[in-house]
């Protein structure tokens, strides 16, 4: 099966936990890009693009991310088939 490019927003429980969440994301996913986005009033989220196996489904990736300490919520923004 092919790979897909997934873009997700990860909402941390606390902004202070972002560095440890980011490090763990890089360990468990095939990360393309990570951005820290400030929503306002000191609230930040992590936007990540990563490769996932199409046949595994998005649930497996969401469960991996949700298992990271300090993650409050995961929101899948988009899924596109990877070329090449």
pLDDT tens-digit readout, 5-61: 999 999 999 999 999 999 999 999 999 999 999 999 989 999 999 999 988 888 999
Cα(73)–Cα(22) distance, integer angstroms: 14
User: What residues does each domain of the chain span?
Assistant: 3-81
> What superfamily would CATH give domain 3-81?
Ribosomal protein S6/Translation elongation factor EF1B (3.30.70.60)
Residues 6+ apart with CB under 8 A from 75: 8, 9, 10, 11
CA quadruple 59, 55, 10, 67: dihedral sign? positive
Q: What is the pLDDT, as a whole number, of residue 84?
A: 63
């Amino acid at each position: 099966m092919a790979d897909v490019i997934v873009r997700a927003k990860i909402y941390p429980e606390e902004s202070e936990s972002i560095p440890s969440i980011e490090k763990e994301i890089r360990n468990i996913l095939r990360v393309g890009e990570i951005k820290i986005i400030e929503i306002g009033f000191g609230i930040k989220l992590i936007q990540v693009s990563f490769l996932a196996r199409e046949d595994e489904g998005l649930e497996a990736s969401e469960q991996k991310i949700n298992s990271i300490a300090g993650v409050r919520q995961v929101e899948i923004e988009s899924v596109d088939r990877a070329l090449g």
